[in-house]
Amino acid sequence: MTIALPVIRQFRLPAIDTRVVGGVVLVAVSVIGGLGLSADPEPTTPVYVTASDLDAGHVLTRSDLKVAELRAPVSTLNGLARPSRGGPPVGRSLQTPLRANATVGLDGLGPTAPAGREITIPVTPDHALGGAVRVGDRVDVLATFDKGTDAARTLTVARAATVHGLVQSDGLFGQHAGAITALTLDVKPDAAIVVAFATHNAELDIVRSIGAGGSRGRSRYDAGDVR
């Protein structure tokens, strides 16, 4: 009796193209690398940016600045004002105007402004350079007491004050919309009380200081001086 033995067939493995394998490996590496970059991006650094448009000469306050995250080379970050470098540059003046949300460059900051006090005074455009006063201007404040009498006199009650803010009309009650109604000034500490007194007892005029010696000159004029 003959026993039939099972037929053993031999299978050949297909030939593997090494170029295909290499291509697959490169694609996998690229995908994994991309995922790694998206999952772990370059860190950002907190920097100070402006909260609104600011003019040249403006003295920075805390309300002028906010913190934003910036991704930039170290060489760029080193030239910017940052929270990690001792807090906001409050009291520093701007050498150039800045738009809202602009970074604050260290080379664009002037020296720290001297100590002073802020005060708001009411004015009308015809007593404030026709309304041409701008934030950052350096102005003198003149006060005329006892107008129209023999005791009339005009005094300089503040010199080289910096215009910190403008109050403008909203156009109600017959006023021209946008017209200046008051100025906020940075004045020397001792001048604040004098300006406040003049605000309630005199007629005020704003004079823009021009040049290095713009605030020099006569500080008082009396009615008797015209005789």
Are 122 and 221 members of one domain?
yes
Q: State the CATH number of the domain containing residue 90.
A: 3.90.1210.10
Domain count, the chain: 2
Walk along the chain (227 residues) in steps of 10 and give the mean pLDDT of each run: 54 56 52 48 87 86 91 91 86 89 93 80 92 88 94 93 84 67 90 95 90 70 78
Decide: 123 and 137 in contact? Cβ < 8 Å. Answer: no
Q: What's the whole-model pTM score?
A: 0.53
Residue 47, classed as helix, strand or coil, is: strand
| Domain's final residue, options 75, 90, 112 | 112
Bridge-based pairing state of the strands 180-187 and 153-168: antiparallel
pLDDT of the residue at 1: 54
| Domain's final residue, options 95, 112, 129 | 112
The C-alpha R_g of the chain, in whole angstroms, comes to 35
pLDDT of the residue at 37: 44
Identify the domain containing residue 126 by its residue range.
117-226
b/e 18-52 (16+ beta carbons within 10 angstroms → b): eeeeeeeeeeeeeeeeeeeeeeeeeeebebbbbee
Residue 75, classed as helix, strand or coil, is: helix
pLDDT of the residue at 183: 93
pLDDT of the residue at 93: 85
Decide: 61 and 135 in contact? Cβ < 8 Å. Answer: no
